[in-house]
Amino acid sequence: MKIFSLQPLLQAAILAIVFSATGRAEDSVPAAFSKQELDAKIGYCKTCHGLSGQGFRGASPMPRLAGQQPEYLENQLKAFIERRRTNPVMFNVAHVLSPSMVTALAAHFKDLNPKPLGGAPRDLAPAGKKIYDEGLPDANVPPCASCHGPEAKGEGAFPRLAGQLHDYLSRKLANWSKERGQDPAKPDTSAIMEPIAHGLTEQQMAAVAAYLSDLE
């Protein structure tokens, strides 16, 4: 049996969390905006991500934000601002947000809990559950549950995956190295996922995504 080598991954996770905690401490400042301004930003987010933050399928799948870990959402908005994560639309959206607004938006979406949109091929879900729970020893892919939790609800810097749009998840996994970790001088938790994403075939990505998309 092949044994997973998790030490480099855990070291990267610890480093990322230290960076994240430092950033959050620096951002602990009083909110410099009104309730009306916050509501306007929330409304703007919902034009793409759904009225309840449940995600949306249009020209391309927009991810679910509802129930997401606040620390993860804050980290990703900062990654867009600092161009550590590529997305032209989100760069324009995120770079005008103050640190306190970022924190407030993350807190808002954490408390939303709509039903998943679903729609994934159900026949793929059993294989996806097996990968999520057990990993792929032959490909040195650890169980997804080891970081994202047995119910896929995440913790801290590790995101919630339960209920995420399956087509969005598949695309992100397939394009991981092209979109995440674009500034090696500022490491984050994306470094953990890079070898894992590379270890999955497209069919395996689709299976994991299908399993996760219906979880509440």
178 neighbors 85 (Cβ within 8 angstroms): no
Q: What is the pLDDT of residues 159-200, one digit of tens each?
A: 999 999 999 999 999 999 999 999 888 888 889 999 999 999
72 neighbors 159 (Cβ within 8 angstroms): yes
Residue 9: pLDDT band with limits 50, 70, 90? very low
Residue identified by tokens 């129930």 is: 67
Q: What is the pLDDT of residues 101-152, one digit of tens each?
A: 999 999 999 999 999 999 999 999 999 999 999 999 999 999 999 999 999 9
Angle at 169 between CA 164 and CA 171, to 5 degrees: 150
pLDDT greater than 70 at residue 20: no
How is domain 7-213 classified at the CATH fold level?
Cytochrome Bc1 Complex; Chain D, domain 2 (1.10.760)
Contacts of 65 (CB under 8 A, 6+ apart): 45, 49, 53, 55, 73, 109, 112
pLDDT at 30: 56
Residues recorded for the chain: 216
pLDDT at 158: 95
Q: What is the phi/psi pair of residue 123, to 5°?
A: -70, -15
Single pTM value for the model: 0.83
Domain ranges for the chain: 7-213
Residues of the chain above pLDDT 90, percent = 78
pLDDT greater than 70 at residue 93: yes
Pick the more confident residue, 189 or 31. 189
Q: What value does the mean pLDDT take over residues 28-42?
A: 82
